[in-house]
Amino acid sequence: MGKTAVKKKCQASTWQKIKRYKWIYLMLMPALLYFVIFRVSAIIGMKLAFYDYKIVGDNTFVGMKYFKMLFDTPAFWNIMKNTLLISSIKIFLLFPFPVMFALLLNEVGRTKFGKFVQVVSYMPHFLSWVIIAGIWIDAFSQGGIVTGIMKAFGLEYKNLMVSKSAIIPILTGSEMWRSIGWDSIIYLSAILGISKELYDAAAIDGAGRWKTVKHIILPALAIPMVTVLILNVGFIMSAGLDQILNFSNDAVLSRIDIIDTYVYRIGLVNTQYSFATAASLFKGVIGTTLVLITHFRFMDSCAARGGGWRGKMKKKITIGQLLIRVCLLTAALLILIPILNILAKSVSEPKLVPYMSGWQFWPSGFDLINYKLIFSNSLVTRSFLNSLFITTVGTALSLLVTGCAAYALTRPGLPFKKPLMVFFIIMMIFEPSIIQEYFVIKDLNLLNNIWVMVIYNSVNVYYLILMMRFFEETPIALIEAAKIDGAGELSVFFKIFLPLNKIAFMTVGMFYAVVRWNEYFKSSVFLQTRDTTVLQVFLKQFVVNGDSTAIASYANVDLTSLNIGSLKAATIVIVMVPILAMYPLILKYYTGGVMAGGVKE
């Protein structure tokens, strides 16, 4: 009887707490509803892997039938091999390069040159894979940079983009081109954490620069290196869907066909929904298991790191320093020149473009005919407005939902906080199949509705956690004082948290905006009418696929009088402009702090 009374008292106490936090739960509700509607229902829908899908009537339970079919399909094991090969190359082969890049940046210090290299190297991270594919296709064209290098070495021109032997190195190179700068940030931060006393002790012992790197800097990088490697291994089943979709063609498909592209093709294109769901579920279970194992291993490997030294080290320009600067400058130019070359071609006279080299970053003549043609195309205008609407309205919605959820989850004493965080982490780790996401959107009557891409991805768990970290720095005394004055939770959020955390909202908002502007794959699946086409889909059709009807069918212009290469370049520039416009703000609000202390003076 006593135990029953205690149990009832505890239940009453919990219920009272929930009532006391009712406004907090109300602020958390939009994020929870989003995941329940768009994620949980899609994950539950993956039971289709055990059923025969029928358009009319009930689905028939068939057990492991489709898994047996999957494992008996020779093509699947080739696709599995491709997935593991491409992922392994990205994880293990490219792993040392950001470390070496960080070491080189650390050697040049916080000079104007060092900042220039950092700014240039971070830029490709914010470009979509559609844009990057367009730039690389141009680089490998007859007048591109790669062709120029081949001619310089006396090699005959060959389109390597359709070469089975070259496509994986191209994927590897484009991944490094995009990520080497951004991925080096964590290592620059680790170098910043090295205590000044260690450097002083090494100098007293007569250690040179190489011994300092070997015995002080590299050991300090051990923990972040192991951490990054462990976490990346957890995602070995994800080889990069967007990159593969934009770099693949019929000639190389068998070489780079991965599980994600296979699921998309047999599921949404060939409508073998049950079979595709089985393949996706297999990938999801293996991938989630690896993520959980590696994340637990990551938690075990975490250790406290000393640091915080932001001192200055004056260095003379030696021959070694000169060589380092040459290497960094070369890397920066390899990133920057292809982008400047695209810009130069877009404003050059069309008849002069074929004579431009891939290294030329200044225009030949000056003509805006490409831009006039593109903006006279009603499809381009409509696509641009659609992308602008999705980005602006979607980002505002994401900030509101994410901000409210972050505020709720950082309130001390919130009942069921741990289970709620576990739920959000699971939603981040386990991604449902595109087949089930398609069915959810279809059942909600949101297919070919521009609002689907506004609502979709309303909450990103990684950005939610990032915003929570910002909110945790807000002084509790301010909140308590506001509540004493009679302020409710909504007033505290909008009048205290929002003004005090402008940098958090700017940072997360710009990341949401970049993701939404660059979204290609889901837009191509959920929005398939002309009126709902977005700019990334148009860019893929015209620039990557080479379908000139995408632009000619809506403009009364004879394309034979123009240069298709310069027209594609202008299209790429138009899609890049919003990202490049936001880039200085991204550096200021997010990477500014890291770059300010990422390398020593």
Q: What is the 3-state secondary structure (H, E, C) of 92-158?
A: HHCCHHHHHHHHHHHHHCCCHHHHHHHHHHHHHHHCCHHHHHHHHHHHCCCCCHHHHHHHHCCCCCC
pLDDT for 352 equals 86
| Rounded mean pLDDT, 314-341 | 82
pLDDT for 307 equals 40
Least confidently predicted of 101-105, 341-345, 424-428, 475-479: 475-479
- Residue 585: pLDDT above 80? no
Distance of alpha carbon 214 from alpha carbon 220, whole angstroms: 10
What percent of the chain shows pLDDT beyond 70?
Answer: 89
- Residue 359: pLDDT above 60? yes
The phi and psi torsions of 299 (rounded to 5 degrees) equal: -65, -35
Contacts of range 323-327, beta carbons closer than 8 Å, 24 or more positions apart: 324/104, 324/107, 324/108, 325/108, 325/113, 327/104
- Helix (H) and strand (E) counts in the chain: 34, 2
| Rounded mean pLDDT, 74-85 | 91
- Residue 422: pLDDT above 70? yes
pLDDT for 81 equals 93
| Rounded mean pLDDT, 68-90 | 91
pLDDT tens track for 202-235: 778 777 777 888 888 888 888 888 878 877 877 7
Q: For residue 60, give the H/E element and its range.
A: strand 60-61
Task: Calculate the average pLDDT of the chain.
Answer: 82
pTM above the 0.85 mark?
no
pLDDT tens track for 29-66: 999 999 999 999 999 999 999 999 888 778 888 999 99
pLDDT tens track for 514-559: 889 999 999 999 998 989 999 999 888 888 887 776 666 555 555 5
pLDDT for 100 equals 92
Yes or no: say if 456 and 522 are a contact pair by the CB < 8 Å rule: yes
Residue 496: pLDDT band (50, 70, 90) is confident
pLDDT for 459 equals 92
pLDDT for 34 equals 94
Cβ neighbours of residue 350 closer than 8 Å, sequence gap 6 or more: 367, 369, 370, 561, 562, 563, 566, 567
pLDDT for 98 equals 92
Distance of alpha carbon 211 from alpha carbon 229, whole angstroms: 25
Yes or no: say if 347 and 366 are a contact pair by the CB < 8 Å rule: yes
- Residue 26: pLDDT above 70? yes
Distance of alpha carbon 497 from alpha carbon 260, whole angstroms: 40
Distance of alpha carbon 529 from alpha carbon 534, whole angstroms: 10
pLDDT for 417 equals 86
Residue 474: pLDDT band (50, 70, 90) is confident
Distance of alpha carbon 326 from alpha carbon 321, whole angstroms: 9
| Rounded mean pLDDT, 75-100 | 91
Angle (CA) 361-363-365 rounded to 5° is: 165
User: Three-state SS for 360?
Assistant: coil
